[in-house]
Structure 1
Amino acid sequence: MTTTPDLPRERWSARARRHPSAFLLAAQLLSLLLFPVLDGHEGRVVFGGFSVLVLVLAVWVVNRTPSVNWIAWLLAAPACVLSLLSVLFDSQTLLVWSSAFEAAVYFYAAVSLIVYMMSDHRVTTDELLAAGATFTLLAWGFAYLFVVCQHWYPDSFAGAVMPERPRTWLELLFFSFTNLSATGLGDIVPLSPAARVLTMFEQLAGVGYVAVVVSRLIGLSILRASKR
């Protein structure tokens, strides 16, 4: 007796294998939509679980690149455990350590995707999606570093609203996006030397990413179109 293959499932699986970066980018963007409604301890529980999912997707994307996969898992495992424990026990110390490991995972995944995009002279759909996913990985990675910096060096950041209080996660992520994209709205300002050094490193990373990686993908896309 023959069975009819599940074509929708096979197509979905094939797309997942061809475009793993799309799932990571979609998860990152979806988490942005969840931030405004995830407030309070219950929201932190939901977001903690969602963060673990994003970390797993980041490791999966690394697995699709030439990078060493066990390094990603070595960083992601403690990040997942510490992230969940920080939510369950509402511990700021555990949150800071989980942020440090999550930053390492995101940076490693971003570097892996950059190596993947620079490894050949043709542009695929997945590489274009990887360009967007890499930008979000860098923004998240620096945002987690800002969380660590704010904990180790109090009063590292001031804001236009209630400048004396510590900045929230969403504020630091917003600052990271504006800094990485060179938008520089200026409503959040780094004050401590450590915060300013991290800010300068992110500015350098943003300019370098656009100048080297994005411009290369655009140039190869134009070259491919001209050959047609």
Structure 2
Amino acid sequence: MSYVQHLAASISPLRKASMVALLVFLVVSVFGVPFFTELDSQAGRIVQDVLFSLILLTGAVTAAERPGAFPLIALGALVAIAVRCASWLFPPDYTLAVRVETALAAVALISVTLGMTVFGPGKVTFDRIDGAVALYVLMGMIWAYAYQLASILVPNAFSGATLDPNRENPSTWIYFSFVTLTTAGYGDIVPVARQARSLANLEGLVGQLYPAIVLARLVSLHLAGGSSGTNKS
């Protein structure tokens, strides 16, 4: 057994608890922190970076049962965390794009692996339902980072609210992402560039189909004691 496989096996018992922990960290980070803290302040940034690190580490633990994917997930998480830590040593404007890119890549990798675990063959449990809800929130985070990256790379990609592409504005992009994901569409931020509009259209479509089809299917299978695939676990 290789060192990576041994490490993945050693933390595998933590995986079930990690699903619930991941969901809790996501809810606190996305909905709690913007409500209780000023994210532009130093304290708010510290809280955000700590929670972001916990989300990535917990997400990596959820991949422990997939030794083939675990090294890539762990590496992506560690790189994103290292970039966040290093950004404290440099002006934010110099590191913003790298922070967003590494965060987007790490969260996307975790989401793909989590999706394989949640929708793989086996009995539908509360653990899987928690993972499916966490995946829904992670998708909102992915699009938030994608919108922010689009605003950095494409001039005037969005209009409406006061948006400065050279500032992190995490709560603004999280807000716009989940407004789009849930198709609330308040209209205070409007995608203008074609890239931004394409992202918004895709997120709105996923936001409607995922709860209606995927989550509802998992809950119904759990109540019926069914399986999400042909194999039993």
State the TM-score bracket (shorter-chain normalisation). 0.7 to 0.9
Change (3 A) 1:216 1:73: same
- C-alpha contact 1:149 1:195 (8 A) present in aligned 2: yes
- Rounded Cα–Cα distance in structure 2 between residues aligned with 1:208 and 1:108: 21
Residue 159 of structure 2 aligns to a residue in which SS?
Answer: strand
2:26 to 25, 28, 52: 28
- Rounded Cα–Cα distance in structure 2 between residues aligned with 1:66 and 1:115: 13
Corresponding position of 1:4: none
What is the percentage of aligned positions where both structures have the same residue? 27
- C-alpha contact 2:56 2:77 (8 A) present in aligned 1: yes
Specify the code of the residue in structure 2 equivalent to 1:194.
Answer: Q
Deviations 1:165-211 (A, max 9, x none): 55822111011112122222322211111111221222233234235
Alignment TM-score, normalising by the size of structure 2: 0.79
Q: How many residues align?
A: 211
Q: Which stretches in structure 2 are left out of the alignment for 5+ residues?
A: 1-10, 227-233
- C-alpha contact 2:12 2:65 (8 A) present in aligned 1: no
- Rounded Cα–Cα distance in structure 2 between residues aligned with 1:129 and 1:219: 14
1:173 aligns with 2:180: no
Alignment TM-score, normalising by the size of structure 1: 0.80
Residue 225 of structure 2 aligns to a residue in which SS?
Answer: helix
| Shift in Å, 1:43 | 2.4
- C-alpha contact 1:65 1:113 (8 A) present in aligned 2: no
Q: Which stretches in structure 1 are left out of the alignment for 5+ residues?
A: 1-12
| Shift in Å, 1:66 | 7.2
Corresponding position of 2:118: 117
Change (3 A) 1:177 1:64: farther
Q: Tell which deviates more after alignment, 137-146 or 212-221.
A: 212-221
Corresponding position of 2:4: none
Higher RCO structure (Cα 8 Å, ≥6 apart): 2
1:40 aligns with 2:41: yes
- C-alpha contact 2:49 2:84 (8 A) present in aligned 1: yes
- C-alpha contact 1:24 1:57 (8 A) present in aligned 2: yes
- C-alpha contact 2:151 2:158 (8 A) present in aligned 1: yes
| Shift in Å, 1:99 | 1.3
| Shift in Å, 1:140 | 0.8
Q: Tell which deviates more after alignment, 33-42 or 100-109.
A: 33-42
Specify the code of the residue in structure 2 equivalent to 1:30.
Answer: V
Corresponding position of 1:89: 90
- C-alpha contact 2:15 2:61 (8 A) present in aligned 1: no
Residue 183 of structure 2 aligns to a residue in which SS?
Answer: coil
- Rounded Cα–Cα distance in structure 2 between residues aligned with 1:172 and 1:68: 29
- Rounded Cα–Cα distance in structure 1 between residues aligned with 2:114 and 2:148: 24
Corresponding position of 1:142: 143
| Shift in Å, 1:15 | 9.1
- Rounded Cα–Cα distance in structure 2 between residues aligned with 1:221 and 1:66: 27
Corresponding position of 1:158: 159
Query: Which protein has the larger Cα radius of gyration, Structure 1 or Structure 2?
Result: 1
Indicate the RMSD between aligned Cα atoms, in angstroms. Answer: 2.6
Corresponding position of 2:200: 199
Specify the code of the residue in structure 2 equivalent to 1:83.
Answer: R
Deviations 1:127-165 (A, max 9, x none): 111111111111111111111111111321223x44x65
